[in-house]
Amino acid sequence: MSEHSSPDRPASERIATRIRHPGPFETGATVRLDADRAHHLRHVLRLAEGATVALFDAAHGEWTARVSAYGKRDATLEIGRCRRAAEAAGPDLWLLMAPIQRDRLETVVEKATELGVTRIMLVATARTQGGRVNVDRLGAIATAAAEQCERLDVPAIAEPMPLEAVLRAWPADRALIAAVEAGEARPVAPVLQEMVAIPGGAAMRGGAVLVGPEGGFTSSELDALRKLPFLCRVGLGPRVLRADTAAVALLACWQALAGDWTAGGEDRRPPFRG
């Protein structure tokens, strides 16, 4: 789905990679990349001098930049034109997730970034397993995913906290959707549709989803969740989903029904000729 390598685009316009770098930039200005970034461009992506990349930051936007020279421990880029100014922020969507096995958690961080999550909160529950969480590494994965998926911003990721403490300090105007076993809750689609239809629902364009650990929530955790006025439990069908699957599925449903996947494109014909 990436457009980076699209052969349909003139070579002069081809953006070989996107790099997060604090801006703003002026056309014609020079930017120096550090040794790690220079190494990545030269030896991993094998970009020749003259190649075009993009630099972006959330506050200012995105610019093209030409690799003008590689040094021994750096690279010099020359700023081209502004590709886009920083846009109005998208929906403010948080993911609350019990830490799971390392590689599965890393996949969730990558997918959550692509799916537009603005904040990832790791929450410890009674049945949460898994060892120490390396938040720096998760942040690097989120940054790489933001570069790849053409986001300007990167989700914030905090050190794990007990779920109870997070819920005690919860902002009452932020709707929280928790995935639980299907028999215990309403299906996800009508809940999201009703949420969007509520008068003043626009105030809820900031939302959050919660996914428990592989063992699920305990009965007493479920009792506590049931009492929270800002929380709604939803089911994700009859099969038992892994926590990582539930997180990606619930985020996709949220964006499709309540988030920024609702804006349209060109194809206005009816979906199927019955």
Collect all residues with Cβ–Cβ distance below 8 Å to 152 and sequence separation of at least 6.
56, 57, 58, 61, 62, 86, 87, 146
Residues contacting 131, CB < 8 A, separation 6+: 102
Q: Does 156 help bind a second copy (rule: CB under 8 A)?
A: no
Q: Does 120 bind a second copy (CB under 8 A)?
A: no
Q: Which residues pair with 180 in a beta bridge?
A: 235
Provide the sign of the torsion angle of the four alpha carbons 211, 216, 218, 222, taken in this order: positive
Query: Per-residue x/- marks for a second copy, 222-261, CB under 8 A?
Result: -------xx-xx-xxxxxxxxx-xx-xxxxxx-xxx-xxx
Q: How far is the CB of 141 from a second copy (least distance, A)?
A: 13
Binding segment for a second copy (CB under 8 A), chosen from 2-10, 21-29, 56-64, 155-163, is 2-10
* Other CB atoms within 10 Å distance of the CB of residue 231: 17
Per CB under 8 A, the segment of 4-12, 45-53, 54-62, 163-171 that binds a second copy is 4-12
User: Residue holding tokens 């009816």?
Assistant: 270
Tokens 């604090």 correspond to what residue? 22
Q: Which of residues 62-91 bind a second copy (CB under 8 A)?
A: 90
Smallest gap from Cβ 92 to a second copy, in A, equals 15
Q: Which stretch binds a second copy (CB under 8 A): 29-37, 38-46, 53-61, 193-201?
A: 193-201
Q: Beta partners for 175?
A: 207
Q: State in angstroms the smallest separation of the CB of 64 from a second copy.
A: 17
Tokens of 168: 């005690």
Q: For the beta carbon of residue 274, count every other beta carbon within 10 angstroms.
A: 4
Cβ closer to a second copy: 31 or 221?
221
124 binds a second copy per the rule CB under 8 A: no
Is 111 near a second copy (CB under 8 A)? Answer: yes
